[in-house]
Structure formats: structure tokens, C-alpha cells
Amino acid sequence: MRSLFFLVTAMTVMALAVWAYRQNYETQAKLREVDELRAEIGDLRERAGVLRAEWAYLNRPERLADLANLNFDRLGLLELRPDHFRKIGQIPYPVKNVREVMDRSGSE
């Protein structure tokens, strides 16, 4: 009986050792994967920063104005000025559309 107990105990210890060994290697693999993902995230953030800087450089107002002037014949773009903008209260809305919307909302 005693030898059976030692045999079962030894088998249990070996099974636990194999399980711990496998867990250790799985953990190391996951840690390597996390490190790779962190490096990739860092690269993508750096790339996003570069793209934001390029976008800001390409959208400089003086550059866009020059492009609009250069391509005026084809595009017909005018330079934006402050007097091109109005407050919302100054925008004339068609009265007919407003009444239709009011009628529909009142009938529901």
C-alpha cells in the first residue's frame, strides 16, 4: 500500500512538473507577443504623428491659396474670407420646408 502511495505521489509530482513546464513556456510566448505588440503600437503612434505633421504641412493656408489660384481655371475655387460666413440666424431657410416639417411633426 505504501509503494502505491509513493507511486501515485510521484506520478502526481511529474504531472504537475510537466504542467508547470508548459505553463512557463506559454507565459514566455505570451510575454514575447505582448512586447511585439507594444513595439508595433509605438511604431504606429510614431507614424500617426508623422502623418499628422505632413497633413498640417500640406494644409497650410498659404499653400492651399496658391493651389486654388493656380487651378482657378479648372476648379473655380475662390479664397475663403471671413465675410463668406454667416451666423445661423442670418441663413435664410425656405419657409415651405419649415412648414412641411412642422406639419409632419404635429400630425405624429
Distance CA 107, CA 78 (A): 44
CA separation (Å) from 32 to 20, 25, 29, 46, 71?
18, 11, 5, 21, 53
Q: What's the confidence (pLDDT) of residue 99?
A: 60
Q: What's the confidence (pLDDT) of residue 101?
A: 60
- Domain assignments of the chain as residue spans, ordered by start: 2-78
Give Cα 82 to chain centroid, integer Å. Answer: 33
Tens-level pLDDT at each residue, the chain (108 residues): 889 999 999 999 999 999 999 999 999 999 999 999 999 999 999 999 999 999 999 999 899 888 888 888 888 877 777 887 888 888 777 666 556 666 665 554
Q: What's the confidence (pLDDT) of residue 84?
A: 78
Q: What's the confidence (pLDDT) of residue 98?
A: 54
Q: What's the confidence (pLDDT) of residue 102?
A: 64
Q: Please tell me the pTM assigned to this model.
A: 0.52
Q: Can you tell me whether residue 43 is helix, strand or coil?
A: helix
Residue 45 burial (CB count, 10 A): 10
Distance CA 52, CA 80 (A): 23
